[in-house]
Amino acid sequence: MTAIKRRAAMIALAAAPALAWAVPARAGTLDATKKRGTLRIGVTQAPPWFTKNPANGEWSSGLGISMGKAMAEKLGVKMETVEVSWGTAIAALQADKIDLMFMLDATEERQKAVDFPTSPLLFYSLAVLAKDDLAVKAWADLDKPAVKIAVPQASSMDKFLSENTKTADIQRFPDNAAAIAAFQSGRVDAVCLFHPPLLAARQRLGRGKIVVPTPVRSQASSVAMRKGDTEFVAWVDKFIDESYRSGQTQKHYETALREFGLDPSMAPPVMKERLG
């Protein structure tokens, strides 16, 4: 190596740390959202959380849609929907394909991969839509090898069933719609979801019975976001806390039920303070 080449190499090595330091970090979600002009929310067919209009393919109603629009309006941008499944939502967040996903429970395992706000989004109870002739009052009644239960894969419902109905024939599907379709076709005896989506399913199918088995399992649901963006997490936390306390979240829920043809007075509320 000539003296000139050695000198050039030394200069390049010396400059490298400074150049690396000068590379700007990826913009936070709030800045990126405002620059892009859209807030990207993950959606999956699961009334009353998210409902796609089959006539035009638009995600037109649901609590998650109403909340997403309200958030986008607050930020001065438009809401953009990105179709995912419950099982792929976290990967979509990590890949920066969506900015948030409503109705993901803040389980210990999920908290290792994504962030959640401190405030709860809403509360709901775990239930089953079962065949009319299936005797079920408690979770123990479902814990039998002959009982086939459909559930969305990698969901909190899947985790609960795996831990509490270990001898049942648990059949896992990619999303709510596929699990409900398995019940509709008679391939399973029951489908396990949280109570609100089952109201919509029962109304559409016109058969089956909704049971909240004992001991009742009520819990908070949340909003998942990319890990490490503390500014965005704090913003979302404040937004959903104010929405919950003002009763706006409950109003979004009741609107979603009405749009799906359900009477809100026949459904349990999503505010803990109003649950029996």
d(CA 242, CA 119): 9
Q: According to the model, what pLDDT value does residue 261 have?
A: 83
Domain regions of the chain by residue span: 29-122+221-274, 124-211
Please report the pLDDT score of residue 268 as a whole number.
77
* Distance, CA of 255 to CA of 261 (rounded, Å): 10
pLDDT mean over 183-204: 92
- pLDDT tens, residue by residue, 172-187: 999 999 999 999 999 9
Closest CA to 259 of 65, 108, 73: 65
For position 140, what pLDDT does the model report? Answer: 97
- pLDDT score at 14: 42
The per-residue pLDDT for 220 is 93
- Fold of the CATH domain 124-211: D-Maltodextrin-Binding Protein; domain 2 (3.40.190)
- 29-122+221-274 and 124-211 have identical folds: yes
- pLDDT value of residue 1: 52
b (16+ CB within 10 A) / e for 56-71:
eeebebbbbbbbbebb
Domain over 29-122+221-274 is classified CATH 3.30.70.980: no
pLDDT (average), residues 1-25: 43
3-state secondary structure of 62: coil
